[in-house]
A and B are shown apart, each in its own frame.
Chain A
Amino acid sequence: AQSVTQLDSQVPVFEEAPVELRCNYSSSVSVYLFWYVQYPNQGLQLLLKYLSGSTLVKGINGFEAEFNKSQTSFHLRKPSVHISDTAEYFCAVSEEGQGAQKLVFGQGTRLTINP
């Protein structure tokens, strides 16, 4: 079974500052990794995914994440945030070979951007 730990439940950041949202996972098998974003009163939207290949993954809205197998981490980064990035961010894993439908999510990190 897989599990995901998002180390920060809330992250306040000033506008135009860099941000890192941390995610660690646990699994006895190879996994796929994802970051989803949820804006208020909306469903989730995929930011980026790691399925295979380069460990540095670039996503939408200027976000990127790096898969570190030895540290079982998949931290999300953005060099300069905007007010519009205020949302809840979820890290998720799925078992490789099982597709991306059965996801195990972390508890989420609420990103608040202050002007």
Chain B
Amino acid sequence: KAGVTQTPRYLIKTRGQQVTLSCSPISGHRSVSWYQQTPGQGLQFLFEYFSETQRNKGNFPGRFSGRQFSNSRSEMNVSTLELGDSALYLCASSLEFSGELFFGEGSRLTVL
């Protein structure tokens, strides 16, 4: 069974640009969550989608957005990039009520 796939794995952007990250969940998983990991702030919850609806949202500015498609694939977008957005962005999928998140290897974003 294929795991959670995130693309791209690495990317470099400049301040003010925008970026879109993609996540393909494990087949059959309808919930997709996104986390930001930085050395200073650690792992922080961004948002969670279930059946194309945002079900939970963390404390991030509106520049961070996401969506989920009917096949459960998800994208997150960050607009007007700032230096502080440099981070590893992790996507995780899960079965409802399973109590377990399956994480991808992440997309490492560097903002210059």
Interface flags for B60-98 (1: CB within 8 Å of A; 0: not) read 000000000000000000000000000000101010111
> Number of contacts between A and B (CB, 8 Å)?
64
**A-B contacts, 28 listed (Cβ < 8 Å):** A34-B99, A36-B103, A42-B105, A43-B4, A43-B90, A43-B103, A43-B104, A43-B106, A44-B90, A44-B92, A44-B101, A45-B103, A46-B102, A49-B100, A51-B99, A99-B94, A99-B99, A100-B94, A100-B99, A100-B101, A101-B33, A101-B92, A102-B48, A102-B58, A103-B43, A103-B45, A106-B42, A108-B43
Which residues of chain B come closer than 8 Å to A100, judged between CB atoms?
94, 98-101
Q: Which residue of A44, A45, A46, A104 has the most chain B CB atoms within 10 A of its CB atom?
A: A44
The residues of B that contact A108 with a CB separation of less than 8 Å are 42-43
Interface of A is mostly: loop
Q: How far is the CA of A44 from the CA of B45 in the complex (A)?
A: 14
Chain A neighbourhood of B100, CB < 8 A: 46, 49, 100
Most buried by A among B92, B97, B101: B101
Contacts of A43 in B (CB 8 A): 4, 90, 92, 103-106
Closest 10 CB pairs of A and B: A43-B103, A105-B43, A44-B103, A101-B48, A100-B99, A102-B56, A101-B33, A107-B42, A43-B105, A46-B100
A108 to B94, CA, bound (A): 22
A98 at interface (Cβ–Cβ under 8 A)? yes
Given A101-B33, A102-B45, does the pair A32, B103 have CB atoms closer than 8 Å? Answer: no
B42 touches A101 (CB 8 A): no
Interface of B is mostly: strand
Q: How many residues of A contact B (CB 8 A)?
A: 24
Kindly identify, within residues 35 to 76 of chain A, every residue whose CB is under 8 Å from any CB belonging to chain B.
36, 41-46, 49, 51
User: A43-B92, A105-B43, A105-B44 are known contacts; what are 6 more A-B pairs with Cβ within 8 Å?
Assistant: A34-B99, A100-B99, A100-B100, A101-B50, A102-B33, A102-B48
